[in-house]
Structure 1
């Protein structure tokens, strides 16, 4: 009886709504919300409401939904007759070396690395330790991000890259000497390049304050430039001094832009071992939507142009390219390597893999990132060991799939990949990337 009553009310309500939607003028019709959303997009409407509520700059996590790197338009080329596939996957060597000219090069089990996500400015200490442990289980490196080396992360990480950064949180001999590679952080894709930033004192806990060496009630401030490097020449000198003073690989991280060749002209005047290029689709714990959506250069175009330019200048073998920015699948990784990268950085997808078995602790009441963000409400709920295991599983799964692809292409190592191993169904991509077009015969 009660169910029949509820059904009757629901049916009458639905009939009334449908009738109004089909008959009322647009000015009185709820369907107007649909057409408005199609014109403006739901995202723009929601963000307009957020701006109207706060009157402040928005901070959006995980990066831009404006993805223009058309990795799905590229295909890898298998071989069967004129050139045979590799006999089996056991013949494939997945190890890569970053900074082969360094006294102590960085040796990885696979060409995947955990990107810079900083303790305090981005992630919780538990999340950083879980990332470090997962990376170590898989035989790859993790990265401090724009934060100092903590005892906890250093202990958990077999291979640790540290960012010499504009917060000045990792720039002392004591800190730098603990690293397996040094990355001079000049910009970030999701921040539109090099941007000022500040962490308010009330958002800094005791452990972070101590590890960052911040005074009581003092903020953590980031400039758009290094205090000691206000010219291109001074940046060159800074990189070369780090290279001279330390035996580990030294690299430069830049946000990709249409000026990438001009930026590389400066990089090529340094003795750096690697160049990290962060495309516009890169992730972040939070940055303004305009910097994410409307600035930079998409990752796909960035790696192609950078690799071509280094080759044209005869320094392809001097600098390893580490590519970052929205890469999330084994297919993405392989295509990036074929276009000229030596390895790839992953961030957002690594976090998803790390919390995949634990997201239910947050949802549906809170978004899953609350488990890993520094100021997240559920950081204490993160199971570090489980997160490390699922991240390691993800990395190993990706590596095994990439090995199978190499077998199909007749390769025995990632260094054998080149543009000749790619084809595209997109004519413009064929022209700008210098790869085959699916509509024409191969050369």
Structure 2
């Protein structure tokens, strides 16, 4: 009886309030209408309103976790072409090869079991020691490499990593012989998709352990410069690449933020003799980057990758320089399409962290956001289960590769590396022109350019007329 009375009273109050606000929304002028906030949010977007509030409160640069929310790479408009009769699918008892070699011309090439690598996420600047260990262990289980990010050399990470790529970076902490000689590949980090080559500094992000290791005084900034210390002209970059190659023998690559000046940047990279090149698109993630750098700077991964591969092919060096696509790649479909467009491998970051956390996200929600678990300064970083995280990451990588192999069967391939632009089609005519792949509206060999466009032929039009019958 008592519960019935409480429920009746509660329902009555709620009904009265609902009636009151419904009348206000339907009768009040917009300047007094409570619904106007919904219109404001629709016009300005909730993100812009929240970020305006944060700026108004602090008066400082605001940094958003995991990168831009803007995705301009239209991977969903690109599809892979299965075969059935004119060319048969691959026999199901034939194994699909998944291995990749990074830097095939290096003295000591990096041979991996799968073409999905873990991208650079630095200890201290981004994530915790536990998170770094989990990423390295998970990558090792899956037979792939992990990347140091803009950090110093960490023995714990090196022990967990079967294959370890270290960044020679603008902070300088990895740029010493003692560290470099322990790497399986050296990546010269000149910029990244989420913040280009903008400098970064902040003593508030340095714990006591890192302050001691980096020999920083109390309050002294830990600085990521806009340039690598000692690199003041283009010739210095060329010399740096050549010196590292000669001294260590492992693949030496360059990573930059994708830019409309890709071809000019590649001129330098090719002249330097890099073993691999990382295309880090504007959709790339970061621990925390200024929102303008994330949203308004750089080139989308899809377009930057296509232009990079086209440049290397035109200059006859694609077979000697490995290409790693990075930035906003989250699904096996993305990975395959990037490889079909010419990437030898892909880097994943944000999605790798999500896979690593899996159900551990529940430790944070609903009171804290999930990044509080893997971040170096996260309130819940000690709650991260390294073994469970490594297992979940390895499972994600295994699952992704298994799906990619199934697609290879459907395409009539025996190696993921065989998938190429002739296996792609797009529903967007502009993408067909830019990527030099077929448009879905016309059959192979009968591609028609967009009105007024000066178009390079689609992929199948560049084949011999009978070649399509014999593709492997």
Query: Which of the five TM-score ranges fits, normalised by the shorter chain?
Result: over 0.9
- How has the CA–CA distance of structure 1 residues 89 and 208 changed in structure 2, closer, same or farther, with 3 Å as cutoff? farther
How far is the alpha carbon of 1:206 from its aligned partner? 3.3
Per-residue deviation, 1:133: 0.4
Residue 170 of structure 2 corresponds to residue 178 of structure 1 = no
Which segments of structure 1 move beyond 6 Å, counting only runs of 4 or more? none
* 1:9-61 Cα deviation digits (max 9, x unpaired): 10111111111101111001111111111111111111111111111110100
The 5-angstrom pairing of residues 75-94 of structure 1 reads: 75-88=79-92, 90-94=94-98
Match of 1:342 among 344, 347, 362: 344
Q: Conserved in 2, the CA contact under 8 Å of 1:89 and 1:407?
A: no
1:425 maps to which residue?
A: 427
Q: Distance in 2 between matches of 1:159 and 1:209?
A: 28
Contact 1:89–1:403 at 8 Å: present in 2 too? Answer: no
Q: Tell me, yes or no, if the aligned pair for 2:170 and 2:226 is still in contact at 8 Å.
A: yes
TM-score (norm 1): 0.98
C-alpha displacement of 1:271: 1.7
**1:199 Cα offset (Å):** 2.9
Aligned to 2:377, the other structure's residue is in SS state coil
Cα distance in 1, alignment partners of residues 421 and 411 from structure 2: 13
Q: Give the aligned partner of residue 137 of structure 2.
A: 133
**CA drift at 1:89:** 6.3
* Inter-CA distance 215–53: structure 2 relative to 1 (3 Å threshold): closer
Offset of 1:216 from its aligned partner? Answer: 5.4
> Aligned pair 1:47/2:42, yes or no?
no
Consecutive unaligned residues in structure 1, runs of 5 or more: none
- 2:132 aligned with 1:122: no
Q: In the TM superposition, what are the counterparts of 1:110-259 in structure 2 within 5 Å?
A: 110-191=114-195, 193-200=196-203, 202-215=204-217, 217-259=219-261
Looking at structure 2, the residues matched to 204 and 38 of structure 1 have their Cα atoms a distance apart, in angstroms, of 39
Which residue number corresponds to residue 275 of structure 1?
277
Q: Which protein has the larger Cα radius of gyration, Structure 1 or Structure 2?
A: 2
For structure 2, the residue ranges without an aligned partner over 5 or more in a row are 446-472
In the comparison of the two structures, how many residue pairs are matched? 441
* Mapped pair 1:367 → 2:376: no
Whether contact under 8 Å (1:150, 1:211) holds in the other structure is no
Cα distance between partner residues in 2 of 1:66 and 1:321: 24
* Deviations 1:355-385 (CA, angstroms, capped at 9, x unpaired): 0120111110100110000000000000000
Distance 1:7 1:331 in 2: 50
Q: Verify: 1:34 aligned to 2:14, yes or no.
A: no
Superposed CA RMSD in Å reads: 1.1
Give the Cα–Cα distance (whole angstroms) in 2 for the partners of residues 213 and 405 of structure 1.
51
What's the CA shift for 1:98?
0.5
Q: Quick check: 337-346 or 210-219, which moved more?
A: 210-219
Deviation, structure 1 residue 227: 1.9
Change (3 A) 1:217 1:23: closer
CA distance in 1, matches of 2:159, 2:439: 49
